[in-house]
Amino acid sequence: MTRALRPTKEELAKERELSFARAIARITKIAVPGVVGFHTHFEITEIFEFSNTTRKTTNVFTLLVAEEHSAGVSEKPVWLGERIRLPHFRDSFFGIRRTVRPIAAILPCLNDILDGIWRSSSGTFDLGEMASGTPVFVAPDSSFEVPWNRLLKNNFDNGAHVFELIDQTKHSFRPFFDTPRLLLDLSAKVMERVPIRIGSMSDKLGNIVVQIPVTVVLARFSQLRASGDTHITLAWHPSATPRPLRAVSATEFDNAIDGYASQAIAAPQATLPTAAGDGQMENYLWDDQEGVLLAAQGRTGFIRQINFGIHALGGNAEPRAFKVRDGKGKYQSVQIGVSSAMNSTVGPLTDQRAFDWARARIYREENDRLVEQSLFKQYTPGDAPSSQMHESALDDIRRLINRHGRYGAWLWDPYLSAHDVLKTLFYCIHSGADLRALTAANEPPHQSVRTKPTFTSLLVHALAVLRATIPYLRPPTPPSFAELQQQELTAAESNNIGLRFEYRMKAGQDGWPFHDRFLIFPQEDGSALAWSLGISVNQIGRSHHILQRVDDGRRIMDAFLDLWDELAKPEHLIWKTP
């Protein structure tokens, strides 16, 4: 079989040059007055780091937004807030600066970016190895958030053309990827000065972004309640000459298009015969003359019916009455006013039975997918023998570790033992993955069964009392929790190939007690995936519990790191490899 040849450095450099040239040519075309707007200047917001040691300035993130300004607008750079200092960066500080420059003056500066230089309004910024990203059109947020809008300025109307010049290596930002909380700290400081959420868009560090909003025409899409058709309203810029456009509308349900229309638009208002079904709608406004997109509306669900209920207290003349014991065991009388509900529907009444059948099937498929990927799985006693269920649940944990643990897997369990670690984290197939285990050094609770004392049990108890009171009969001090875990890990006789593992415990007054059990997977971009185990690893699968992915893994990871950093003394360390 013939293997594809890797491109040479010269070929890669040539491709980068061509990509840059295409991007700049596109920016130049779109920036022409009347194409997508009548922009005259770029408002430039620069987030940068200045090193007191090297006296160099490094671009952290720069946003250029095309805007309309008068000829006399000030081009003097303005600092947004005071300098930002972070404890980790002792020899440098961060700053945010904003200036307004004519588009014609900035376009030539874009060519220097390929050489790793950004010539800002008042200095030169160092860049990484830059490349041009794929130009995109970013619609405003709709029923779904568009991540780009965390960085763009006021992208509320038609949307914006966005060009991204990307730092491909991001060598200058390695501390942020190694310690994600540093980026969150910086992002919080930035947000106090300008609404750029760089903390949630770590892949944009070191990049320069050009945003060209569409202002030549204002488009509004809506759905007619009676027919389900799409209605569009246009309002042209005062300096624009109206021209024919094309509107496209489509709705999608169950991965199938159930409504579609495309129509030339010349009048300020038009209706597209979409006859939308049960899906969500997407709308576009295209300019054939200039070959550009002038508006986009992401997937949006329109409200057709509103169901509401009115709960009237006192609908039942007599309240519910009962007694409950207080903390001292005395009964206290309680009365609860019971409400009566009256439900109403606003909107056209339609037969939803066909939609309900489809929705039920989609729910079943989604539930099966969640179970298959262990995003949600319920373990019920009695489905199989306890030991078999336990091994099956451990297999699920191992599959998660090997699927998501490329960069690390962290187990957080108050009853976590070395045996549990050997049965889970040691199965990780990823060499060098950051494996961590955190325990409260608690012994698993044992359920005891009360029985009548026997002669043997009384004799054993008497001997235990004698050993406790007579010094030379006392047994040797039992090994500590940490020593027991170390013995277990030593007995495993692991060759530690590809193993990067650390096991800590809560000891003394440091840290804080914890109860929940989590499996956390840190990601390369500083985010995290996390699963709630629902039970300790030693009991997983044996009793009823639910294994499920949590929504905000980053917050779970940050909570883990807060406690992990508190438990950094020698007495907290059980084991570390290498």
pLDDT in tens, 275-318: 656 667 888 999 999 999 999 987 765 555 555 555 555 555 57
Q: Looking at residue 245, what is its pLDDT?
A: 92
User: Mean pLDDT, to the nearest integer, of 186-192?
Assistant: 91
Is the pLDDT at 413 greater than 90? The verdict is yes
Q: Is the pLDDT of residue 107 over 50?
A: yes
Q: Is the pLDDT of residue 123 over 80?
A: no
Distance CA 36, CA 236 (A): 11
* Mean pLDDT value across residues 84-113: 90
Phi, psi torsion values for 504, nearest 5 degrees: -120, 160
Rounded Cα gap, residues 474 and 454, in angstroms: 24
Cβ(443)–Cβ(415) below 8 Å:
yes
CA distance 176 to 60: 11
Cβ neighbourhood burial of 327 (10 Å; 0-12, 13-18, 19+): exposed
Helix, strand, coil % in the chain, rounded to nearest 5: 30, 35, 40
| Ranges of CATH 2.60.40.10 domains, the chain | 217-300
Second CATH level (architecture) for the domain 367-444+479-577: 2-Layer Sandwich (3.30)
Selected from 2.60.40.10, 3.30.390.30, 3.40.50.720, 3.40.50.360, the CATH number assigned to the domain covering 217-300 reads 2.60.40.10
The CA–CA distances, whole Å, from 251 to 219, 223, 301, 360 equal: 18, 11, 9, 20
Query: pLDDT at residue 208 above 50?
Result: yes
**Cβ-contact 363, 324 below 8 angstroms:** no
Helix axes 9-30, 103-110, angle to 10 degrees: 170
pLDDT at 270 > cutoff 80: yes
Number of neighbouring beta carbons within 10 Å of residue 339: 13
The listed range with the strongest mean pLDDT (38-42, 227-231, 492-496) is 38-42
106: pLDDT strictly greater than 70? yes
- pLDDT for residue 435: 93
Alpha-carbon distance of 269 to 249, in angstroms, equals 15
Residues 6+ apart with CB under 8 A from 204: 61, 151, 164, 198
Boundaries of CATH 3.30.870 in the chain?
367-444+479-577
Q: Which two tokens stand for residue 30?
A: 């779109």
Q: 24-28, 244-248, 317-321, 370-374: which has the minimum mean pLDDT?
A: 370-374
* Beta partners for residue 548, in sequence order: 376, 532
What pLDDT was estimated at residue 350? 57
Residue 390 pLDDT: 87
